[in-house]
């Protein structure tokens, strides 16, 4: 008996839990769709009221008719009046909520009940369209926010444990199964692994990484179990920093957007007082003055003049541009940079890591007679170990572990030249030929003509030889330059590499102008010279030494994959997948955004001016006013949404 009672009680409890869950789900759905439900109720009641007016006009009592349309009005009118009161209490009296509220209330006053409900209903539908469009624009940015898993699998003493991503420390090893997303930046320990980087970079092509290469948070392991050594904390990963920048992007408004907002604040009170004037002034000049007629004209004027189409569609256009950029692996840090990219006339590019892969390999070793090759290379690799430059890594990979018996003393990096160090009490210099000139080391001047990157070496003030290193041009670099040329944009390449190498790359890519042998400060000077003759200028780079030039340029663009944190933070635009072809894509998105914004401004002003004149003259009715306000707003919103569908 007790067991039966217990089972019955458990069943009853389970049923209650299910009912509660269903009730909560139902309530959640109603809450999420309350605006659509309200608009739907108003629409049904409005259509019913119009039908009753048509079939039972003579039988309907005035108060019943007024009450019925008020009930139809409340679901869409109440939220607007609530906002109108809230904004008025904050000191913002002249806004679209107040205008729509007064206009619809006035329509009820003159007995145009269906028109009063219709205006408010269409306004509510316009707001729903706006909300849907904004959500669509946010979806691509939201996709980025979903790229960091909360938990990771850590290898510890040969066993796997699950750990919160925020709690993982640098140096720990993550085990990544096929299909898993990487939560933190790290170094691949497995021999090879293929990653899907589509959500992070906008590229669908899988990216195969080799042992020792950098893998970034947000990448998805595709085919086999792999291990990754964590190199940065959760909050310091490239993706985390990019997400923070994305979230701040919409706070930086474009000049057009700022102007429209300021204009709306001045424009709205002007049209409000003009509407009052339409009611009052005819009393003194029109013989057969009828108050209700002129009030109706003023209400039409108010509805037409509501700046919704501008205030809604223009920010939405820019927001759509930022969203379109995110889907293409391009982060615009604000809508103002969309405007600038639309007008850019010159693109200045760094060479290494921007147009070339920055993956160097030693091609040739030439050691001067009288020096032992093994010893010179070992000392070179040891002094280069203090540099993070890709050339240093290439040398270390080539030499291997033959540096054990050598002891490194003081090392000094000379910006734009190379490294100076002491090894086993011997002074060693490693760098470009400017380095050799600086320390008056004699060498064959013909070496400068070799169209490859050269690291010259001097030991104890004597030229000990050189090694040549080649860097590979990125697959889409040619496509990038061609696309920019088609857009009528001048291309310039700046590099600290020697002029022979720079000219060789420039001739291959057909770049307009190229300058080599530049120190970081020389790049700044050169960009300033270009700005003096051509503006606006965009500069794209990836290294720490590019940060000052990026800050100086009209538009600074950083390579987000391999780029330094300082460069990414300084830049106005970040290309997440390091593809130079995305520069042209960014320009195209900027141009498309500006074109759509200008179309919306022309459409809104054009239609409003025409209907305002007709309304003031008594020709336009409330239906034309609804089209001039809500109809134009809807058209402008639909036009703004097009940028989100742009394929580039």
The domain limits of the chain are 1-31, 32-145, 151-234, 357-472
- Looking at residue 4, what is its pLDDT? 47
Lowest mean pLDDT among 1-5, 159-163, 508-512, 566-570: 1-5
Per DSSP, the three-state class of 555 is strand
Lowest mean pLDDT among 89-93, 203-207, 585-589: 203-207
- Looking at residue 29, what is its pLDDT? 61
Write out the E strands in 447-578.
Answer: 453-459, 462-473, 490-494, 513-515, 537-541, 555-559, 573-575
**Digit-coded pLDDT (tens) for 568-585:** 667 788 887 788 999 999
Contact 497, 475 (CB under 8 A): no
**Digit-coded pLDDT (tens) for 359-377:** 778 888 999 999 989 888 8
As annotated, the active-site residues are 350
Contact 243, 145 (CB under 8 A): yes
Lowest mean pLDDT among 145-149, 205-209, 400-404: 145-149
**Digit-coded pLDDT (tens) for 528-561:** 899 888 888 999 887 656 777 887 888 888 886 6
pLDDT band at 10 (very low <50, low <70, confident <90, very high): very low
Residue 563 has pLDDT above 60, yes or no: no
422 strand-pairing partners:
427
558 strand-pairing partners:
541, 574
Residue 114 has pLDDT above 50, yes or no: yes
**Digit-coded pLDDT (tens) for 215-263:** 888 788 887 889 999 988 887 776 666 556 555 544 555 565 556 566 6
Return the CATH number of 357-472, one of 3.40.1110.10, 2.30.110.10, 2.60.40.420, 3.40.50.10330.
3.40.1110.10
pLDDT band at 21 (very low <50, low <70, confident <90, very high): very low
Per DSSP, the three-state class of 33 is coil
- Looking at residue 139, what is its pLDDT? 57
Residue 198 has pLDDT above 70, yes or no: no
Residue 1 has pLDDT above 50, yes or no: no
**Digit-coded pLDDT (tens) for 601-611:** 888 888 878 87
Sequence-distant (≥ 6) Cβ neighbours of residue 308 within 8 angstroms: 96, 123, 126, 629, 630, 633
Contact 177, 225 (CB under 8 A): yes
So what CATH class is 151-234? Answer: mainly beta
SS (HEC) of 120-182: HHHHHHHHHHHHHHHHHHHHHHHHHHCCCCCEEEEEECCEEEEEEHHHCCCCCEEEECCCCEC
How far apart, in whole angstroms, are the C-alpha atoms of residue 518 and residue 380? 23
- Looking at residue 248, what is its pLDDT? 54
Task: Look at the block and give the residue holding tokens 């790359």.
Answer: 505
Residue 199 has pLDDT above 60, yes or no: no
Share of the chain above pLDDT 90, in %: 15
Q: Residues 448-459: what's their mean pLDDT?
A: 86
- Looking at residue 493, what is its pLDDT? 93
Contact 409, 426 (CB under 8 A): no
CA dihedral over 131, 136, 142, 146, signed as positive or negative: positive
Contact 211, 191 (CB under 8 A): yes
CA atoms within 13 A on the CB side of 463: 20
- Looking at residue 510, what is its pLDDT? 92
| Number of Cβ atoms within 10 Å of the Cβ of 177 | 11
Continuous H helices in 61-95: 62-89
Task: Look at the block and give the residue holding tokens 């699998």.
Answer: 153
Mean pLDDT of the chain: 79
Sequence-distant (≥ 6) Cβ neighbours of residue 648 within 8 angstroms: 324, 328, 585, 588, 589
Top-confidence residue, 360 or 423:
423
């Amino acid at each position: 008996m007790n067991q039966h009672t217990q089972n019955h009680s458990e069943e009853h409890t389970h049923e209650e839990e299910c009912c509660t869950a269903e009730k909560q789900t139902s309530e959640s759905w109603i809450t999420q769709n309350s605006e659509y439900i309200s608009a739907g109720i108003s629409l049904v009641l409005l259509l019913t009221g119009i039908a009753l007016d048509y079939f039972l006009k003579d039988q309907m009592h005035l108060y019943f008719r007024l009450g019925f349309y008020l009930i139809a009005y409340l679901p869409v009118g109440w939220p607007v009046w609530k906002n109108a009161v809230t904004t008025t209490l904050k000191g913002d009296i002249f806004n679209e909520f107040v205008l729509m509220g007064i206009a619809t209330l006035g329509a009820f006053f003159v007995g145009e009940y269906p028109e009063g409900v219709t205006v408010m209903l269409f306004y509510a539908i316009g707001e729903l369209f706006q909300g849907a469009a904004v959500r669509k624009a946010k979806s691509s940015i939201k996709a980025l926010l979903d790229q960091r898993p909360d938990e990771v699998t850590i290898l510890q003493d040969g066993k796997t444990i699950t750990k919160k991503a925020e709690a993982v420390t640098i140096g720990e090893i993550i085990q990544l199964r096929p299909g898993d997303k990487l939560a933190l930046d790290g170094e691949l320990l497995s021999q090879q692994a293929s990653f899907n980087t589509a959500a992070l970079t906008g590229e669908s092509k899988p990216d195969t990484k080799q042992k020792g290469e950098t893998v970034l948070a947000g990448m998805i392991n595709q085919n086999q179990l792999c291990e990754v050594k964590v190199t940065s904390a959760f909050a310091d990963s490239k993706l985390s920093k990019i997400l923070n920048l994305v979230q701040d992007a919409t706070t930086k408004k474009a000049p057009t957007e700022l102007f429209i907002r300021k204009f709306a604040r001045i424009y709205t009170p002007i049209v409000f007082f003009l509407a009052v004037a339409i009611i009052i002034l005819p009393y003194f000049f029109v013989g057969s003055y009828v108050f209700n007629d002129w009030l109706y004209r003023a209400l039409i004027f108010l509805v037409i003049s509501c700046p919704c189409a501008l205030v809604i569609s223009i920010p939405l256009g820019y927001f759509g541009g930022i969203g379109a950029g995110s889907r293409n692996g391009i982060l615009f840090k604000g809508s103002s940079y969309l405007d600038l990219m639309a007008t850019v006339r010159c693109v200045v590019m760094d060479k290494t890591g921007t147009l070339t892969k920055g993956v160097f390999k030693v091609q040739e070793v030439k050691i001067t007679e009288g020096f032992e090759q093994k010893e010179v290379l070992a000392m070179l690799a040891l002094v280069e170990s203090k540099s993070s430059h890709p050339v240093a890594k290439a040398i270390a990979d080539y030499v291997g572990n033959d540096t054990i018996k050598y002891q490194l003393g003081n090392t000094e990096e000379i910006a734009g030249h190379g490294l100076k160090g002491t090894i086993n009490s011997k002074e060693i210099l490693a760098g470009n030929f400017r380095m050799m000139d600086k320390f008056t080391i004699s060498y064959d001047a013909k070496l400068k003509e070799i169209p490859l990157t050269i690291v010259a070496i001097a030991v104890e003030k004597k030229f000990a030889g050189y090694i040549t290193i080649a860097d590979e041009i990125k697959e889409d670099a040619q496509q990038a330059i061609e696309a920019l040329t088609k857009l009528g944009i001048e291309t310039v390449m700046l590099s600290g590499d020697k002029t022979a190498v720079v000219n060789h790359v420039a001739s291959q890519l057909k770049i307009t102008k190229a300058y080599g042998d530049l120190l970081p400060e020389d790049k700044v000077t050169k960009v300033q010279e270009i700005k003096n003759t051509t503006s606006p200028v965009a500069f794209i780079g990836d290294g720490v030494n590019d940060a000052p030039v990026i800050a100086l340029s009209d538009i600074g663009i950083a390579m987000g994959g391999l780029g330094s944190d300082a460069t990414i933070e300084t830049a106005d635009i970040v290309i997440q997948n390091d593809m130079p072809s995305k520069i042209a894509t960014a320009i195209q998105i900027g141009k498309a955004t500006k074109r759509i914004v200008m179309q919306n401004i022309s459409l809104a002003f054009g239609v409003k001016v025409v209907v305002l004149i007709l309304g003031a003259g008594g020709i336009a009715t409330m239906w034309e006013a609804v089209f001039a306000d809500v109809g134009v707003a809807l058209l402008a919103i639909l036009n703004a949404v097009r940028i989100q569908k742009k394929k580039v």
